[in-house]
Amino acid sequence: MKRAFSADELKHTAPRLAVERRSVRFQDVDAAGIVFYPRVLEYFSDAYMAALKERGIDVPGMIAGGGIKLPLVHAEADYLLPLRFGDAIEVEVLAPKLGDTSFTVGYRVTTAGGVAAVGQTVHVCIDGARFTPRPLPNDLRSALG
């Protein structure tokens, strides 16, 4: 799959839509004492959901209703620095790149030592009843833009 965000954009230049500050929890680390790799994807998801909520997008209502849905169809992460229990981190949600029926969200995880992880997720807007792609609604475009 072609990357919507370049490595440079993810690490340095892409503008951010939102930021979530948190600490690495004990249950996030593995036997090596560093963040277990899928936890970074959870950090991405938590920050993404918080960003949508901040912009007035009712994700629980969207899931419960029969209208549009925004399933994730691709996720990737690059791990650049170790994250350890107790580290204070910022999970940045980068301004999405919007297509007709899909959008790509970038993420940057930073710590005192620099950029620790980057990644991106691709979401497709679908009709909830038929599970077929549909154009992104204008209110969603505005909230993400």
Cα dihedral across residues 42, 109, 69, 127: positive or negative:
negative
For each successive 10 residues of the chain (145 residues), what is the average pLDDT? 86 95 98 97 97 91 85 97 98 97 97 97 94 93 89
Given this model, what pLDDT does residue 67 score?
87
Q: Is 87 a catalytic residue?
A: no
Domains of the chain listed by start with CATH number: 7-144 (3.10.129.10)
Given this model, what pLDDT does residue 60 score?
86
Given this model, what pLDDT does residue 29 score?
98
Given this model, what pLDDT does residue 2 score?
65
Given this model, what pLDDT does residue 3 score?
79
Among 28, 30, 100, 139, the active-site one is: 30
Dihedrals phi, psi of 119, to nearest 5 degrees: -175, 180
Model-wide pTM > 0.85: yes
